[in-house]
Amino acid sequence: MDLLPSQLKKGVAAHECSLANTPETLEQVYRLRHACYLGKGSIDPTPTGTFSDEFDLLPNSHSFLVRSADGQALATVRITVVRPQIGWTDSPGRHVFGDHPEFQRMAAGGYVEASRLCFGEQARRDAFMGLLGNMAALSDLYETEWLLACPRVEHAPFYTRQFGFRQMAPARKYFGVRFDTQLLGVRRTELRENVGSVKPMIQAWVQALAELTSSGICPGVECVSLRTCC
């Protein structure tokens, strides 16, 4: 659990990557988080066997869940949208890096932040692409300038090598867990250029954008067209 995407090889094929917006799917998200972080000693066990926090309740946060054909939870991530123009200014990363000038610069242009990224033992690489595709799609829908990630320090080179994320600040201990994380950022336009030849990522991005657009996830916001993607 809690593997690098490059370590995700054989396993159960992902059946779907979708919003976790029902009591059943949210329960799966919180239980998978708990198993992943507890397995690494990053949190203490909870009486309920679930792991959640106040950001799960905010309207600018969306959890995504990858499941197998038989409904097994394979992977999950939470994406928080920060867009000052509509009053969305808080995210987990602000409570860790909020005093850093680079973070403040990214916040001014708006960003989507990935947090609570977890993989079950049976997850495959396509699960990671599905989750990242939804992150990129939300950045398109809300027209944020930046995508922001705070992976474990030892995982940060993968994000830099594969997607062009850059280190924006020295490592600090992340919100609600015991490990140090690296603040990474990439502009939406840069990500599109960096993954232009990565077919699985492009497919995941386009599919996520189509599904999120049809779901009406951003009411009151002028969403961008599918034609702007990739």
Closest by CA to 19, choosing from 52, 61, 82, is 61
Q: What digits encode the pLDDT tens for the residues 110-125?
A: 999 999 999 887 666 6
46 in helix, strand or coil? coil
pLDDT at residue 23, rounded to an integer: 96
The identity of residue 22, as a single letter, is: T
Q: What digits encode the pLDDT tens for the residues 48-88?
A: 999 999 999 999 999 999 998 889 899 999 999 999 999 99
Residues of the chain with pLDDT below 70 are 1-15, 122-125, 218-230
pLDDT at residue 166, rounded to an integer: 97
Q: Rounded to whole angstroms, how far apart are CA atoms 85 and 227?
A: 24
pLDDT at residue 230, rounded to an integer: 36
Residue-range domains of the chain with CATH: 12-213 (3.40.630.30)
Closest by CA to 82, choosing from 108, 43, 48, 47, is 108
pLDDT at residue 171, rounded to an integer: 97
pLDDT at residue 214, rounded to an integer: 87
| pTM for this predicted structure | 0.88
Supply 158's token pair. 């993968």
Task: Enumerate residues 6+ apart whose C-beta is below 8 A from 36.
Answer: 1, 2, 118, 119, 120
List, as one string, the DSSP characters of 90-154: --TTHHHHTTSHHHHHHHHH-EEEEEEEEE-TT--HHHHHHHHHHHHHHHHHHT-SEEEE--BGG
pLDDT at residue 146, rounded to an integer: 98
